[in-house]
Each structure stands twice: as structure tokens, then as C-alpha cells.
Chain A
């Protein structure tokens, strides 16, 4: 009986118990943490979208479009040229809009302002809008990731 309470046995038991406890916690925590991390779905990432005929877009206009899961903003300028930006404000993720009356791209959430080239000019946005590449081929507009 005296052996069962000897310090070395006690230490071994304590070590085994704490190692087992830690392993048990890890065996529970790891799957839970991994479970909470959403899986990457195929088809979520898009590298290019077709946006239809050039004629559908009037000069000096802007159109929101869907680029995978994110919104984009297709600008057609007075001279007929196109540029496309991510429509996600670089400040806090709201969706921006073209304001014809102000001649800017504007974010309603925190009054962020960008010029028509997507550069942040006023308010809280820290960076210009991300830009896409616009390709016009056979009278059709295509937008791809830059």
C-alpha cells in the first residue's frame, strides 16, 4: 500500500492525468475549431465575367455587376472607354455607387469619396478601389481580375 502513495508514482499519475486531459481537450477543440472555419467552395472564385454588348452601356454611366461573390462597378466614360473597379469600399466593406450629380464614386456608409478613376479623394477610405481589367472583344465587354 505504501508504494501506491510514493511520490514518484504520484508524479507519474499526475503527469499521465494532465497529459491525458490535455490530449482530451485538444481532441475536442481541434475538430470544433476546424468545423467553425467555413470550407472553400468551388465556383466561389471567379476570374472573369462577361457583361454583354458594349451598346448596353451609355457613355458617362456606371453599372454594378456581380463578380463571383463580390460586387463590381463598370464605368463607361464620356469618350466611350471602359474601366471596372471592385465596388467594395476600402474603408469598411460597403458597396459604393456612382453619383452623377457629384461626379464621383461615393460610399453611403461613411461618406467616403473616390474620383472616377477609383482614387480615394475624401473621407475615411484608406486606399483606392481595386481595379479589374476590361477587355472589349467583338463588341462584348469582359471583366477579368487584374
Chain B
């Protein structure tokens, strides 16, 4: 105990622990009937930390390459102690992270927490969300199985159909004209080096903004706050930690009882297997692309689809700058309806895609 006190004293002299503690004591979180949504950002962060840890562990056995990737994962899952568990946790946690991030993003949207002065938090958050999807897409190919191979062919071909820059983008992504071992090398580089580096910077911006500005209170709840604000420490932190524990348990149950399968090794010269689908979070796009006719107006169906999704994603990123009413702190219906329409659209086509499998 004495050692702890003297260590604390030593640190306090150098990094002003007392100042940090005073800051933590002062920090509060608004309390109202929409407070529940505050926790999903933390859950996403928790799952990201799990991704980093389990990803590093997978790196100890994974060997990228057309002839080694699938085999190394098979070895990991069949011979390495708890190898199957590490991989299952990484895959399940990735899926849960996409879900948590989506809930976080849409709840922020519907409570208009993106409004002035939190535009930077919103933009960095949306970019983090897109990057999360990119993590999912690039990681999906790494075991080099049949499903991943064709998902990557389709996904990169979609990037290739973007007017003007498509061809260069396709080559950049694939490392050649076709999906080959060169693509695997690149996706590995994206997944474990490039994306984590960008993600870290964006996450730092996002978290610093949240710390500096505090949580947003929904319009109309500022004055009539039903309860007094909750102290961040320990009240909010303890609730956060409890939820993290619950999420960890859900993750463990999923990873153990529904272990992630490896599938069949990719054969670049075999036909695409029947019943091929992407991950659930791309299912709505997949379904829309499936239903688009071969030509829309003067464009090929896929080009039309890519343009519409691309523009929609760009607009979604900068939506705080369009929502003038919420910038002035007034309640408005229009952007609420836009958010609900987007959610209904995604849910409808996801369910349709799932039913029509």
C-alpha cells in the first residue's frame, strides 16, 4: 500500500494526476430518456479493441499468399490450441462491431447529435463507419475461400465500374486485372497496416472531439432535462463497463457455439457456387444490384447503382451542413424522415435479400 502511495506521488509530481482526477470529477453526461444511445459508441470502441487484440494473435499464424493463406487458417483452426476460438472471436466481433457502429450512427442521426458544433465528430464518425466496412470487406478475403473470392471479384468490379477512375481503382485494388494472389497481398496490407493507421487517426479525432464537447443533448431536452446530469466517473463508466461485460459474454457465446466456418478453398477457374451472398451488412446493396435491370436510363445497371450509392454515402457524410434547422437548434421533421427512410430501405432490402437466398 505504501509502495502504491509513493508510486502515485511520484507520478502525480510528473503528470499531474490530481488535475486529471479533478477533470474526471467535473465531467458529466446528460441524463434524459434517450440516454441509452450514448452507450453504443463505447460498445463499438470495445469491439474495436477486441479486433485489434484478436487480429494481432491471428497474425502469429496467418501466412498470406495464394498457396498458404487457406492452409494456414486450416492449420490454425485444426492444430493450434484455441486457434478456432481466436478466429471465431475475430469474425464475430467484426460483425458485432459493424452492428454496434450502425446503431451508434443511426441513433446519433435521429437524435440530431451531428448538429453544430459537432459536425467534425459526425464526419469523422461516418468515415470510421465506412472504414469499418472496408475492414470487413478486406478481411473477408484473407482466408482465401470460395465465397470470399467471388465476393471480392464482385466488390472490386463494382469499384471498377465507377466512371473515369474505375479502371485505375480496379488495378490498384486487385494488383492486376484479375483477383489473384496479388490481390490477397494487397488486401492483407490494407487490412493490417493501411486501414488501422487511418482508423487510429480518425478515432483520435473522434474521441478528442467527444471529450472536448461532451455528449450532445437532443433538441428539446436541454432545459427540461428530466434528471440531473450523471457524473461520468464513476456512474457512467461503471454502466459502460457493465455493458462491455455483457457484450463480451454475448461474443463468447456466439464464438463458441457458432464457430466461424472456413469453407472451401478458392479456385479462380471454377464457376461461382449457387447461393453465393456477401456478408449481411452488404446484403441490401447486393439485393439492389440484383434487382436493377441491365440498363437504367443511358447507363448500365451496375454503373447506375454504384453512382446512386456513392452519392448517397457522400451526402450522408456531410448531412450536418444541410440540416439548417437543427444548426439553429430548432426541431425539424425532414431529416428525421430521411433517416427513417434510409433505415427502412436498408432493412427492407436486407430482409428481401435474406428471404430470396
Contacts and interface: CB of A to CB of B under 8 A. Distances in A.
A129 interface: no
B302 A108 contact: no
B150 A109 contact: yes
B157 A126 contact: no
A69 B180 contact: yes
A126 B150 contact: no
Given A37-B172, A120-B294, A108 B271 contact: yes
Q: Which of the four size classes fits the interface of chain A?
A: 20 to 34
A123 B356 CA distance: 15
B163 interface: no
Contacts of B271: 64, 87, 95-97, 108
Interface string B154-191: 10111011000000100110111110101000000000
Contacts of A107: 272
Interface residues of A, dominant DSSP? loop
Nearest to B154: A92
Contacts of B168: 37
A49 B19 CA distance: 75
Contacts of B272: 94-97, 107-109
B295 interface: yes
A62 to B, nearest CB: 10
A36 B172 contact: yes
Interface of B: 150, 153-154, 156-158, 160-161, 168, 171-172, 174-178, 180, 182, 268-276, 286, 289-290, 292-295, 300-302
19 contacts: A36-B172, A37-B172, A69-B177, A70-B178, A91-B301, A93-B154, A94-B276, A96-B272, A97-B271, A108-B272, A109-B150, A109-B154, A109-B276, A110-B286, A124-B289, A124-B293, A124-B294, A124-B301, A126-B294
